[in-house]
Chains A and B, each alone.
Chain A
């Protein structure tokens, strides 16, 4: 049973380019979360999605960042016109339930390290 798959593992972009980060949740999981980790810090919540719906994007920067989780295919975190401050590790997590399963842990992927030069 494959875990949460994220790709690419490393991504280098120049300032002004676009970054696309992909996440395939664990089989059977329909809830996806994106977190960002700055160097030497803990993970910070960005967005929570279910299939074809953004449920909570309160942690997403208002501009340049967007996320989707289509009916088919992986979840995508898209960062337009990247700046140096976007350099971080971006983690995806998935779970089977969101509200009723407080005991259901999030399963994390290995993250994508984005470097903006």
Chain B
């Protein structure tokens, strides 16, 4: 079974600095997608970035980028120039198709605090 592990329950960073959130996963599949979702206090799940497993190039979305290491099954999120609005819970998620159903498996989350 697929599992996703986020080993950092909490992280904090100074505003304008860079922070990296860790994520590892376990799977025997070769074709899958990985995602980072942000959940602010409003509870909305916001897609931050996604990575296709068969692409070696790391995905980038503005200040957000990933370090995808397929062999190590690692998928970390780097946030550059941190802003106060980045404060939220961040969830790493693995997605695959099981019996026709698109399923997301989430990690436990990392609470990110931005210090002004």
Interface residue ranges, A against B (CB under 8 Å): 31, 33, 35, 40-45, 48, 55-56, 89, 91, 93, 95, 97-99, 101-106, 108, 110-111, 113
Contacts and interface: CB of A to CB of B under 8 A. Distances in A.
Interface of B: 4, 31-33, 35, 37, 42-45, 47, 50, 52, 91, 93, 95-109
A28 to B, nearest CB: 16
A108 B108 contact: no
Q: 6 closest A-B pairs (Cβ-Cβ)?
A: A42-B106, A108-B45, A56-B101, A48-B101, A43-B106, A98-B102
A55 B102 CA distance: 10
A102 B55 CA distance: 13
B106 A95 contact: no
Contacts of A41: 108-109
Given A102-B32, A103-B52, A56 B99 contact: yes
Contacts of A31: 102
Given A104-B102, A110-B44, A111-B43, 5 more contacts: A45-B105, A56-B101, A98-B97, A98-B100, A110-B42
24 contacts: A33-B102, A33-B104, A40-B109, A42-B4, A42-B109, A43-B106, A45-B103, A48-B101, A48-B103, A56-B99, A56-B101, A98-B97, A98-B100, A98-B101, A99-B100, A105-B47, A106-B104, A108-B44, A108-B45, A110-B42, A111-B43, A111-B44, A111-B45, A113-B43
Given A102-B32, A106-B102, A42 B97 contact: no
A78 B44 CA distance: 21
Contacts of B95: 102
